[in-house]
Amino acid sequence: MINRFSCAALVVLSLTGCASDPAPTEQLRLSEQALAQAKAVGADEQVAELAMAEAKLLQAQAAMQRDAFKDARVLAEQAELDARLAEARVLTQKSQDQLDELNNRINRLRKQLGTL
Amino acid sequence: MSARVQMLASALLALLLSGCAGSQQQSSNEALEAARSSFQAVRENSDVLRSAPKDVIRAGESLARADRLSSYWGSTDDVSHYAYLSLRYSEIAEQNSVLSLNQDRAAKLELDRQRLQLALREAKLLSVQEQSNWLEEQILSLTAGETERGLVMTLGDVLFDAGQAELKASANRTVLKLVQFLQLNPRRVVRIEGYSDSRGDKLENLKLSRARAQTVADVLVDLGVDTARIEVQGHGESFPVAENASARGRAQNRRVEIVFSDELGRLSSAR
């Protein structure tokens, strides 16, 4: 009898599970912020991680709507880091472009100096 | 009855717990492995540790969490999640490290660039100066040297057609040097003086000598020398430099002389 009850309890527990998670409002705010920040430095759909961040944030918001708070938190956490990686990639690419441009200029200067 | 319910319940439970656990287990293991090797790489990279220590720490924390969860039953999703976060932190740390190395490098290159630009400017200035010195030597070699009239350069009779005021093409190089010299020495002015031999009508000679001097002045103006810097005079058969008895002497007397001012624009007084 006890066995039967504990089994039923386990089933119920595993079915409800995540319902006890609190609403990840703060995490969603952080994720939105990270996404906005990535876009502000010039990340667009070309950056794979930005597209992922946007998709996951949308899913997280949808999960919030149906009170699936654990799903919402997981998706929002991943979206935040996807967005941060997108931002870092864009900034790194920009710094690389800047280096290339500087090297070009230096080569041109050297060439001019050589011909004098 | 109760035994049947119990069996059903345990069957359900087993189904729930195992689910498609096989393939999930595998993918979470793979995620964990990827996160572990990424974290290993960033942790051993001193550049990354220096420029993005916080992200490295978070990568480690997430990895530890995923590791811990992997020993629990039914937490494959959580393992995958924290492995994913750990991997992302490692990637962010690595990108930030590349960024900061690039920025350091850019700062150094910018200094290089400024140094080169300065060197180039100096070199160009120097070459203008050298060019100017060279031209001055050339002009000096064409002049009779310093006299009481200043520097005097003589354009010989061979540069004109006989009895005509037009300059021959062979005069071009000399005239171009003259123009460059005047451009590089903007304060210098010139007086162009025409002379003839003593054959023929005195007035005609005066007119021809003046016309030849004017021709030279016109060419200089055409090439961009300001008219205000040029004086023109005809002296006819006065001031011969050789006797007029021989053809050679007469040829030497038919000439145009260019008198230069000093560097401050002071010209000797006209004859």
pLDDT digits (tens, 9 = 90+) for B162-182: 778 888 777 777 888 888 888
Instruction: Using a CB–CB cutoff of 8 Å, tell me whether B117 touches chain A.
Output: yes
Q: Residue B7 pLDDT more than 80?
A: no
Could you tell me which of B193, B196, B209, B195 has the C-alpha nearest to residue B258?
Answer: B193
Examine the pLDDT at A4 and tell me if it is beyond 60.
no
Same domain, B117 and B166: no
What pLDDT, on a 0 to 100 scale, did the predictor assign at position A11? 47
Q: Look at residue B4 and tell me whether its pLDDT is greater than 90.
A: no
Q: How many domains is chain B built from?
A: 2
A96 interface with B at CB cutoff 8 Å: yes
| Residue B57 host element (H or E) | helix B53-69
Q: Are residues B240 and B164 in the same domain?
A: yes
Query: How confident is residue B139, by pLDDT bands cut at 50, 70 and 90?
Result: confident
Per-residue pLDDT of B203-234, as tens digits, reads 999 999 999 999 999 889 888 899 999 999 99
Residue B191 DSSP class: E
pLDDT surpassing 90 at residue A6:
no
Mean pLDDT of chain B: 86
Buried b / exposed e along B206-222 (16+ C-beta atoms within 10 A): bbbbbbbbbbbbbbbee
Is 90 exceeded by the pLDDT of residue A19? no
Quick one: average pLDDT of B120-146?
A: 75
What pLDDT band is residue A17 in, cutting at 50, 70 and 90?
Answer: very low
Domain boundaries, chain A: 22-115
The whole-number pLDDT of residue B113 equals 92
- Assess whether pLDDT exceeds 90 at residue A85: yes
**Can you name the residues that pair with B231 across neighbouring β-strands?**
B191
Tell me whether residue B139 is in a domain.
no
Model pLDDT, residue B175: 83
Which one has a higher pLDDT value, B255 or B184? B255
Q: Structural domain of residue B251, as residue ranges?
A: 148-260
Contacts of B81 in chain A (CB under 8 A): 74, 77-78
Q: Is the pLDDT of residue A1 over 50?
A: no
pLDDT in tens, B41-95: 999 999 999 999 999 999 999 999 999 999 888 889 999 999 999 999 999 999 9
* pLDDT value for A12: 45
Q: Are residues B158 and B228 in the same domain?
A: yes
Chain centroid to CA B210:
47
Q: Is the CB of B75 inside 8 Å of chain A's CB atoms? A: no
Interface check for A9 against chain B (CB to CB < 8 A): the answer is no
Q: How far apart are the first and last CA of chain A?
A: 100
Q: Domain A22-115 adopts which CATH fold?
A: Substrate Binding Domain Of Dnak; Chain:A; Domain 2 (1.20.1270)
Does the CB of A86 have a partner CB in chain B at under 8 Å? no
**Top-ranked range on mean pLDDT: pick from A18-22, B58-62, B143-147, B237-241:** B58-62
Confidence bin at B151 (pLDDT 50/70/90): confident
Q: How confident is the model at residue A104 (pLDDT cuts 50, 70, 90)?
A: very high
Same domain, B88 and B159: no
**Position B89 in a domain:** yes
Mutate to test the interface with B, among A16, A95, A100, A108 (most CBs of B within 10 A): A95
Q: Taking 50 as the threshold, does the pLDDT of residue B28 lie above it?
A: yes
Q: Tell me, what CATH number does B217's domain have? A: 3.30.1330.60
- Residue A13 pLDDT > 50, yes or no? no
ipTM above 0.85, yes or no: no
Q: Which chain B residues are closer than 8 Å to A109 by Cβ?
A: 113, 116-117, 120
Are the Cβ atoms of B113 and A84 closer than 8 angstroms? no
Answer yes or no: is B270 within a domain. Answer: no
Sequence-ordered list of residues with C-beta below 8 angstroms from that of B71, at least 6 positions apart, any chain: none
Task: Please report the pLDDT score of residue B92 as a whole number.
Answer: 97
B171 and B246 share one domain: yes
| Mean pLDDT for the stretch of residues A76-94 | 97
Same domain assignment for residues B43 and B111: yes
Looking at the structure, do residues B120 and B156 belong to the same domain, yes or no? Answer: no
DSSP readout, chain A? -HHHHHHHHHHHHHHHGGGGSPP-HHHHHHHHHHHHHHHHTT--TTSHHHHHHHHHHHHHHHHHHTT-HHHHHHHHHHHHHHHHHHHHHHHHHHHHHHHHHHHHHHHHHHHHHHH-
Residues in A touching B124 (Cβ below 8 Å):
116
pLDDT at B157 over 80: no
Is B142 part of a structural domain of the chain?
no
Q: Do A106 and B120 touch (CB under 8 A)?
A: no
